[in-house]
Amino acid sequence: MKHCEYMDGDWFKAMKVEVEATNKTVVARKMQVNRSTLSAVMNGIGEYGKGNASTNGIELQFRRAFEQLECPHTYKIIGIAVCRENALCAAPTQNPRQMMHWQACQSCLHKPAPISQVIAPKVKRPAMRQVASETLQQAGIIDKVTLPLPVVGGPQINEQTAQEAA
């Protein structure tokens, strides 16, 4: 087994413990990765051993599947996915109890980074040019022709047949 830099991480040591407790097939199934990929990471072979492949995705899958923590607000054991959902959602202004939980999550030591920052850091992209001839369509506009609404309680007739009859 070749020793790679990622093998010193806490997530790798925890993954090793899980594999020793069960086996690679069970751990791979829980992580939703191929057993051969997990084996290559565990043994430091292939592209992982050469340093050409990133283990960020494997780490994220392991943490999603196996990490549990105690929520300081509710004192319950929850998964990192639940923690991420509570901490990174929009502020629930309609429910005071959920709002207190959300506010506690914002200053929590366990607050996870958004997935986009874990997988790949944000890259500044140049702003798109707006062509003068193009007009931006407002959100919510579906079509350019709005049909009249029927009168409530009135007879429901087709306008084309009414015009043709006249």
Summarised one tens digit per residue, pLDDT across range 51-103 is 778 888 898 888 888 877 889 999 998 887 788 888 999 999 999 999 999 99
Residue 126, pLDDT > 60, answer no
**Token pair recorded at residue 59:** 């780490």
Cα separation, 51 vs 41, whole angstroms:
11
Q: Is 45 a member of any domain?
A: yes
pLDDT tens digits along 29-43: 999 999 999 999 999
**Do 47 and 93 belong to one domain?**
no
Model confidence at 120, in pLDDT bands (50, 70, 90)?
A: very low
pLDDT at 128: 53
Cα separation, 133 vs 65, whole angstroms:
50
* 106: CB partners within 8 A, 6+ apart: 87
Cα separation, 19 vs 3, whole angstroms:
17
Q: Is 37 a member of any domain?
A: yes
**Do 115 and 72 belong to one domain?**
yes
**Do 29 and 72 belong to one domain?**
no
Instruction: Pick the more confident residue, 87 or 158.
Output: 87
Instruction: Pick the more confident residue, 156 or 59.
Output: 59
pLDDT at 97: 93
Mean pLDDT of 101-110: 91
**Do 51 and 13 belong to one domain?**
yes
Q: Is 152 a member of any domain?
A: no
Mean pLDDT of 123-143: 53
**Do 39 and 77 belong to one domain?**
no
Distance of CA 71 to the CA centre of its chain: 20
Which pTM value belongs to this model?
A: 0.46
Instruction: Pick the more confident residue, 84 or 145.
Output: 84
pLDDT at 91: 92
pLDDT at 149: 60
Q: Is 47 a member of any domain?
A: yes
- Parent domain of 94: 68-120
pLDDT at 146: 58
Distance of CA 28 to the CA centre of its chain: 20
Average pLDDT for the chain:
78
**Residue 39 phi, psi dihedral angles, 5° rounding:** -65, -40
DSSP states of 14-68 = HHHHHHHHS-HHHHHHHHTS-HHHHHHHHHT-HHHHHT-S--HHHHHHHHHHH-E
Q: Is 143 a member of any domain?
A: no
Q: Is 166 a member of any domain?
A: no
Using alpha carbons, select from 82, 91, 129, 135 the residue that is nearest to residue 110: 82
Mean pLDDT of 140-144: 55
How buried is 58 (Cβ within 10 angstroms: 0-12 exposed, 13-18 middle, 19+ buried)?
Answer: buried
**Do 22 and 56 belong to one domain?**
yes
Counted domains in the chain = 2
